[in-house]
Structure 1
Amino acid sequence: MNDSQRPDQPRRGLGARRKQRIDDLAATSGATTVAEAGTIDDSGGVGLVASAWRRLRRNPIFLTGLAITVVFVLLALLSPWIAPHDAADNPLIDKVSRQNNPIPGPEPGFPLGGDDSGRDLLSRLLVGSQQTLLVGVFATLFGLAGGLTLGTLAGAFGGWVDSVVMRIVDVMLSIPSLLLAVSISALAARPSQWTVIIAVAVVQVPIFARLLRGSMLAQRGKDHVLAARALGVKRSAIILRHMLPNSLGPVIVQATLVLATAIIDAAALSFLGLGNPDDSKPEWGQMLGQAQQYIYDNPHLAFYPAACIIVVALGFTLMGESLREALDPKSRR
């Protein structure tokens, strides 16, 4: 080694000793060494859904809403088998005619008592959950289908198509939702469960249409859409294969929130007497309306269906809000 290299030797030895000390400290703490500090982790990336699920499974609000929703769906699906009595039978009719109070109280085999016709209240609540679920799900699906159609037309084509569709949506949004639903239900010659479903679905159409239109407009300027246009891909293929699938995320999350609103609106229409008049197939809103004449002496007749409506709507709302925050990049923490 020549003389010009000798002054660097102590510094090199000092650097090696410092590196060794850092490695020893890192080894005791379980951290990476200095040589590994600049390496790149070769583990695979995490998708949007997987990343959202990691946050949701640690979110107590989402877990609470999911638990309420799962219990409600299971009870609705299994209600014909787990209901202790037939919802249309009146096994307590003798006690209704004997007592001054026409509402039978709780007794063995009838934990919640009966109604003014001698029917088991618990069985009617369980069977009513199925009717409420059907109305809420079908109303949301029909509203989603109509909103997807209008939103796709407005967001994909733009121009005069967008203007016409959005003016229709603006007119529908200018009318209070419950008033619009009542007006549509009142047009039916004979109230039924389907009139409630159609009325609630029409109210939800502009919500989905406006949301999907905004998502579609955001997709029109994305690189993959511009690249597809430059390659000469047909407009229909661009809309159905590129723009629409990437715009459905916010709409699906909104459907969860709208389901809670649909259940409340359907119950309100049934409460007003615009739903199914056949009380052999109970529905929570219908039961709430029938209980109003006994609200002072027997408030439990109104409390149980009202509590069911509130708890189920709360479950869907908690789950929907948590999904929206988990999938929204601006809300991630």
Structure 2
Amino acid sequence: MTNPLKKYGDARKERIDQLAAMSDGSVAVADAGTIEEAPGVSLIASAWRRLRRNPVFLTGLTITTLFIFLAVFARVIAPHDPAIGYLLDKVRPQSNPIPGPEPGFPLGADNVGRDFFSRLIVGSQQTLIVGVFATLFGLTGGLILGILAGATSGWVDSLVMRAVDVMLSIPSLLLALSISALAPRPSQWTLIIAIATVQVPVFARLLRGTMLQQRSSDHVLAARALGIKRSSIVFRHMVPNALGPVIVQATIVLATSIIDAAALSFLGLGNPDDRQPEWGQMLGQAQQFIYDDPHLAFYPAACIIIVALGFTLMGESLREALDPKSRR
């Protein structure tokens, strides 16, 4: 008696052979179902593949690139010197305190006759300087504290993190305002130091948490088992693998730094020399003309919002692309 299972198997094999014979012969039956090998892709390469198709990231990148280009070449692009009152003879405090637009001066002038369009362009340079240096100094301080806390344990970790918790418990703008007020004379550097101090605990806590995850990873445990020095494990294995989220956070913090710098300059705690315009400073000077000439406040405020939005969109997109938990 014929086994029905064997009969079924023979019929199925015969059917597969018939289908293979009907094909062009490019794929053998033995190779059916195999997956073609492909080279591995790094995390950065795979993230870039997603980012270049992400309209949110491309929008933020475009805004950021234009802002950086404008800030770097501001002195070349600006049609006039922002410190010279070209239209001072047209300023009349009673009838015409703010000269309007005219040929060569598309946005008019301020209350002392200086070209407002040129001041907007040059102001981007000062805003970028404050934002970048504040972020770099805050990142450096946060790296030092984060590595110190994440690489050690016990009382050192507790002491560093309690200090970080105290700083985080104070609102960032209030803390920056207090630090700026301690300076005997406001300047651009006091503004940078105040904002950088506020950003230090953000980077420190983030790096410390990421390093704690790295401490229990397989490659770190293997390095310890091989007897590698603790300093080499920290700086060659833990820190490089923990820097990704910190770099992404720096992009977002840059937007916050620009907003905080504008707020402090608006309150008069920035650079007092208005021959070097800055968007927050221009906002503060425009408040006395806000009812009759609102454009003096609208344009700097719009520039601050757009630039901060560009950095935020780019930073959030980078976070989604690099974080496996939030990938789409």
Asked whether the two chains share a fold, i.e. TM above 0.5, the reply is yes
Among 12, 16, 22, the alignment partner of 1:18 is 16
Question: C-alpha distance in 1, partners of 2:257/2:49?
Answer: 29
Question: C-alpha distance in 1, partners of 2:28/2:287?
Answer: 74
3-state SS in 1 of match to 2:33: coil
Counterpart in the other structure of 1:97: 92
Is the Cα–Cα contact under 8 Å of residues 23 and 34 in structure 1 kept in the other structure?
no
Counterpart in the other structure of 2:200: 205
Cα–Cα, structure 1 residues 11 and 199, in superposed 2: closer, same or farther, change >3 Å? Answer: closer
Question: C-alpha distance in 1, partners of 2:41/2:27?
Answer: 23
3-state SS in 1 of match to 2:31: coil
* 1:119-139 superposed Cα distances (whole Å, 9 cap, x missing partner): 001100100000000000000
The reply to whether residue 220 of structure 1 matches residue 215 of structure 2 is yes
Letter in structure 2 aligned against 1:199: A
* 1:276-301 superposed Cα distances (whole Å, 9 cap, x missing partner): 00000000000000000000000000
Percent same amino acid at aligned positions? 74
Question: C-alpha distance in 2, partners of 1:328/1:67?
Answer: 23
Is the Cα–Cα contact under 8 Å of residues 90 and 96 in structure 2 kept in the other structure?
no
Write the mapping of 1:25-174 to structure 2, written as runs, cut at 5 A.
34-97=29-92, 100-174=95-169
Question: C-alpha distance in 1, partners of 2:28/2:283?
Answer: 68
Deviation at residue 261 of structure 1 after TM alignment = 0.1
Deviation at residue 151 of structure 1 after TM alignment = 0.5
Letter in structure 1 aligned against 2:293: N
* 1:66-125 superposed Cα distances (whole Å, 9 cap, x missing partner): 000000000001110010000101111111138712101111111111100100011001
* 1:31-60 superposed Cα distances (whole Å, 9 cap, x missing partner): 966443332322101110011011101100
Counterpart in the other structure of 2:244: 249
Question: C-alpha distance in 1, partners of 2:36/2:17?
Answer: 22
The reply to whether residue 285 of structure 1 matches residue 283 of structure 2 is no
Question: C-alpha distance in 2, partners of 1:125/1:224?
Answer: 51
Is the Cα–Cα contact under 8 Å of residues 271 and 285 in structure 1 kept in the other structure?
yes
The reply to whether residue 320 of structure 1 matches residue 315 of structure 2 is yes
After TM superposition, which residue ranges in structure 1, 4 or more long, deviate above 4 angstroms?
8-14, 22-25, 31-34
Structure 2's unaligned 5+ residue stretches are none
Letter in structure 2 aligned against 1:252: I
Cα–Cα, structure 1 residues 309 and 22, in superposed 2: closer, same or farther, change >3 Å? Answer: farther
Residue-pair matches, total: 326
3-state SS in 2 of match to 1:97: coil
The reply to whether residue 310 of structure 1 matches residue 305 of structure 2 is yes
* 1:244-288 superposed Cα distances (whole Å, 9 cap, x missing partner): 000000000000000000000000000000000000000000000
Is the Cα–Cα contact under 8 Å of residues 119 and 277 in structure 2 kept in the other structure?
yes
TM-score (norm 2): 0.94
Question: C-alpha distance in 2, partners of 1:332/1:182?
Answer: 37
Question: C-alpha distance in 2, partners of 1:156/1:127?
Answer: 43
Deviation at residue 214 of structure 1 after TM alignment = 0.2
Cα–Cα, structure 1 residues 91 and 126, in superposed 2: closer, same or farther, change >3 Å? Answer: same
Question: C-alpha distance in 2, partners of 1:123/1:51?
Answer: 42
Among 254, 257, 266, the alignment partner of 1:259 is 254
Letter in structure 1 aligned against 2:19: R
Question: C-alpha distance in 2, partners of 1:283/1:234?
Answer: 49
TM-score (norm 1): 0.93
Letter in structure 1 aligned against 2:221: L
Deviation at residue 13 of structure 1 after TM alignment = 6.9
Question: C-alpha distance in 2, partners of 1:20/1:120?
Answer: 83
Cα–Cα, structure 1 residues 169 and 98, in superposed 2: closer, same or farther, change >3 Å? Answer: closer
Structure 1's unaligned 5+ residue stretches are none
Moved more, 223-232 or 287-296: 223-232
Question: C-alpha distance in 2, partners of 1:11/1:237?
Answer: 60
* 1:5-38 superposed Cα distances (whole Å, 9 cap, x missing partner): xxx899747633434336757x69xx96644333
The reply to whether residue 189 of structure 1 matches residue 184 of structure 2 is yes
Deviation at residue 227 of structure 1 after TM alignment = 1.2
